[in-house]
Structure 1
Amino acid sequence: MNQPDRTTGHPPARPLRGIALKLASVVVFIVMSSLIKVTAQDVPPGQTVFFRSLFAMPVIVVWLAARQELATGFRAHNLFGHFWRGLMGTMAMGLGFAGLAYLPLPEVTAIGYASPLLVVVFAAMFLGEDVRLFRIASVALGLAGVMVVLSPRMTIVSGDAASTREAFGAMLVLCGAFCAALAQVFVRKLVHNEKTAAIVFYFSLTSTLLSLTTLPFGWVVPTTTQTALLVSCGLLGGVGQILLTSSYREADASLVAPFDYASMLFALLIGYFAFDEVPTRTMLIGAGLVITAGILIIWRERKLGLERAKGRKAMTPQG
């Protein structure tokens, strides 16, 4: 999921509202993924990305207009940056959507948790961010959890056809997590010169256009039901993005970010009741390790942020 920057310039004043908005965004995105899973066997992932992106745009445009940020949304200073962010984000969506055709919803969700861990690695590699031992250890723990989730799927050589399909799906989702992490690195670059409105708008625009390049690979004529589901995915995607953005306006990122992991609970419930997917013990153990690692990183970042804030306050001349 895309984590926008804080642009209000005001200290968070409504943390409970921020948490509620974040949880609402998590629910919306999980429901969106569930609808995509229903169509994933029949509709190519590139076509799904097109519907997801195109029908999110009207929602986002109306929201920006209501906030009087529409002009800001159209104003971009780094078009190449938006393109690369859009390319990585579009690939992440497409790979993740494709994986839903092969794997249970909770498993796709658990593997996707690799993305924020990989952001730490890529930020150190490409942005020169300082990564200390605590974060390195936490990332290692989280990636070990991802490997635990993946371990039952790594049976390409000795497994049957079904196992091979599941292994392929796991690789798709993992590659999607890599792309999502790279997209976040580009977002971190963009926030220095671009407003949240522009980042949100140009991602939807770029992903809509890029998804059209998959036309030669075989789009289908969806049924009425499939069309309704795909359009709903786009509308939910736009609503989810707005809720996500709004949550970071209302509360500190370090406060609301851990609620991303509530998506596992909702994925388990929807997977069980809607798709008859019973989670395995291995998947739950691996997901638990990944969630623990993510929360440790967030806790550490919050602690370091408070220490830096105290240091700046101490250095500020007093009246």
Structure 2
Amino acid sequence: MAAFTVVDTITKAVSSEMNIGQVMLVRGLFAVLLVAAFAYQQAALRPLHTLMLRPVALRVLGEIGGTISFMVALVHLPLANTSAILQALPLAITLGAAVIFREPVGWRRWSAIVAGFIGVLIIVRPGLAGFSQYSLLALVSVAFCALRDLATRRIPAKIPSLFITLLTAVTVTTAGGVILVPLGGWTPPSTGALGLMALAAVLLLIGYQCIITALRTGDISAVAPFRYSALLWAMLLGYLVFGDAPDVMMVTGASIIVLSGLYAFYRERIRHRALAAESSGLPPDGL
């Protein structure tokens, strides 16, 4: 989460020099070279037909859609606001797991999901002063990212995480090249911007590898709450780099989202403990 937030900060900083398509392309080229070299060194490369799976295709679709919609929102909104809306992602994942995978969700967690999206509405503030249509793009990004993360859980374990990371980098880079011309074409980047893009590529490699490994080896309900740490990084970096101070509406909405997500996580842990106790024939702890 720290790596991804620094990448977001770099992206917002260089957006004054180049459009988001060029950012995705330049950053992606660095990332593809790094990931490909690392995957080769770790013997993680596989034949391309290995990736001809529906979960992989859905992950790619979610990654591309989430990246483009989030970057457009990021350029036009304060860093902390964009990150705060994205914190609804764990709740969206819980919702998706219940609807798509038929995972049981009790009324308490449904209440937490509803409360979390009320927090999102407070940040977006539709119909009120301070509303920005770019906030809706941040919500679209949440939907795409939920699709991406849910699909990741269905990718067979035999496919190395590094290979999935490489595919992600290649497809997002290609998408950046496709949208480059409609968004204004190529602008010669400065040396400083290229250096920042190279740093962003390294951080993307770290972030992608960490999140894919976490989602594939850990329980989604256990991994998801750690996303909230990104909000703290976004508030700090937004203030230090761009001078953006969060307003009362943003802080209120973000607090509701985080508390709702943590409560949903707490209820999920209780459910898992109860199921474990039931299968063992022993009473759950604390009961």
Query: Shorter chain as normaliser: what TM range?
Result: 0.7 to 0.9
Could you tell me how far apart the structure 2 residues matched to 1:249 and 1:126 are? 18
1:89 and 1:248 mapped to 2: Cα distance?
A: 15
2:205 counterpart letter in structure 1:
G
Q: Relative to structure 2, which stretch is displaced further, 306-315 or 224-233?
A: 306-315
Q: Which of 50, 61, 69 matches 1:87?
A: 61
Distance across 1 between alignment mates of 2:158 and 2:46: 12
* RMSD (Å) for aligned C-alpha atoms: 2.8
Matched residue SS, 1:278:
coil
1:112 aligns with 2:86: yes
**2:210 pairs with 1:235:** no
Count of paired positions? 280
Per the alignment, residue 168 of structure 1 pairs with: 133
Q: Does 1:121 align with 2:95?
A: yes
**Matching residue within 7, 16, 33 for 2:8:** 33
Q: Tell me the CA shift for residue 226 of structure 1.
A: 2.1
Residue 261 (structure 1) aligned to one of 228, 241, 248: 228
Residue 52 of structure 1 contacts residue 233 of structure 1 at CA under 8 Å; is this kept in 2?
A: yes
Distance 1:53 1:308, change over 3 A: farther
Point out where structure 1 has 5 or more consecutive residues left out of the alignment.
Answer: 1-25
Q: Are the aligned partners of 1:95 and 1:173 in contact in 2 as well (CA < 8 Å)?
A: yes
Q: Give the 3 Å change call, closer, same or farther, for CA 171–300 of structure 1 in structure 2.
A: same
2:155 is aligned to 190
Identity of aligned residues (%): 24
Match in the other structure for 1:98: 72
Deviation at 1:167, TM superposition (A): 0.8
Structure-1 separation of matches of 2:281 and 2:206: 41
- Which AA in structure 1 matches 2:15? A
CA contact (8 A) 2:152 2:212 kept: no
Greater alpha carbon shift after TM alignment, 231-240 vs 126-135: 126-135
Q: Partner residue of 2:285?
A: none
Q: 2 CA distance for matches of 1:307 and 1:73?
A: 43
TM-score w.r.t. structure 1 length? 0.77
Partner of 2:178: 213
**Contact conserved, 1:52 with 1:235, CA < 8 A, in 2?**
no
Aligned-partner residue type, residue 270 of structure 1: L
Cα 1:314–1:73 change in 2 (3 A) is farther
The offset of 1:129, in angstroms, is 2.9
User: Structure 2: any 5+ residue segments left out of the alignment?
Assistant: 283-287
Once residues 36 and 255 of structure 2 are traced to their aligned partners in structure 1, the CA distance between those partners, rounded to angstroms, is 38
- Work out whether residues 28 and 237 of structure 1, in 8 Å CA contact, stay in contact via their aligned partners in 2: yes
Distance change in 2, residues 1:190/1:255 (3 Å): closer
